[in-house]
């Protein structure tokens, strides 16, 4: 039977366990929800908002710090991911959505081979070297679920959602190794477009005459 009725916060991003996410809280229903979570030091669930509704697998979060409070009740916060869950049913009695959930973790217990971890770290370095945005925080290398730390370098919500649902650290690392070259190519292309955009199609080496 489902064991929890968890406040849910649908977003366009995917939170991963033990990673951080800054949020700006401005809607009245989420001011209420986050305010209660801060007072009670309780968790809420972040779920990906898809075109046809929210996805069934998410990650709980706790408010690590409030960085700014505004006179109208808005706030800037930083949350950290805690544990993964699957939604069993939804409840709409409150102003914000809640869900009856089941929590889950990985199904394997054997340590990851050092060679696989080394390849994943190499993939991570490739991503951070080609990224045009501010690099993510350094990964915690002793985390038994290192894949979630490394995935901070990948903004793609669909890929992050895939990792969130997987129950094998080895398989998550393999997915990261396979996906990294594709993501790096995207990042290089994005950086190139940003570099040439100011020239309005004239190109950086052309002169006007």
Q: pLDDT tier at 194 (50, 70, 90 boundaries)?
A: low
pTM of the model: 0.86
pLDDT score recorded for residue 74: 96
Q: Is the pLDDT of residue 204 over 60?
A: no
pLDDT score recorded for residue 63: 98
pLDDT score recorded for residue 131: 63
Q: Give dist(CA 5, CA 151) in Å, integer.
A: 28
**If you average pLDDT over residues 5-14, what whole number do you get?**
96
Q: pLDDT tier at 130 (50, 70, 90 boundaries)?
A: confident
Q: Is the pLDDT of residue 188 over 90?
A: no
pLDDT score recorded for residue 129: 86
Structural domains for the chain: 4-104 (2.30.130.40), 114-197 (no CATH)
DSSP H helix total and E strand total for the chain: 5, 7
Do 47 and 58 touch, CB atoms closer than 8 A? yes
pLDDT tens digit sequence for 82-116: 999 999 999 999 999 999 999 999 998 788 999 99
Do 99 and 45 touch, CB atoms closer than 8 A? yes
Q: Give dist(CA 5, CA 97) in Å, integer.
A: 10
| CA geometry: angle 177, 142, 137, nearest 5 deg | 70
Q: pLDDT tier at 190 (50, 70, 90 boundaries)?
A: low
């Amino acid at each position: 039977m489902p064991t929890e009725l968890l406040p849910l916060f649908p977003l366009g991003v995917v939170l991963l366990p033990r990673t951080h996410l800054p949020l700006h809280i401005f809607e009245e229903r989420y001011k209420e929800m986050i305010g209660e979570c801060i007072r009670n030091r309780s968790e809420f669930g972040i779920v990906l908002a898809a075109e046809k509704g929210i996805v069934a697998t998410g990650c709980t979060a706790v408010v690590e710090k409030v960085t700014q409070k505004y006179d109208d009740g808005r706030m800037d916060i930083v949350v950290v991911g805690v544990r993964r869950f699957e939604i069993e049913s939804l409840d709409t009695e409150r102003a914000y959505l809640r869900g009856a959930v089941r929590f889950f973790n990985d199904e394997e217990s054997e340590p990851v081979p050092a060679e696989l971890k080394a390849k994943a770290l190499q993939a991570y370095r490739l991503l951070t070297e080609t990224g045009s945005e501010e690099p993510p925080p350094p990964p915690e290398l002793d985390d038994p679920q290192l894949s979630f730390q490394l995935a901070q370098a990948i903004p793609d919500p669909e890929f992050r959602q895939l990792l969130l649902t997987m129950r094998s650290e080895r398989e998550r690392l393999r997915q990261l190794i396979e996906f990294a070259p594709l993501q790096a190519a995207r990042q290089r292309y994005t950086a190139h477009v940003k570099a040439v955009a100011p020239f309005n199609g004239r190109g950086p080496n052309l002169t006007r005459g």
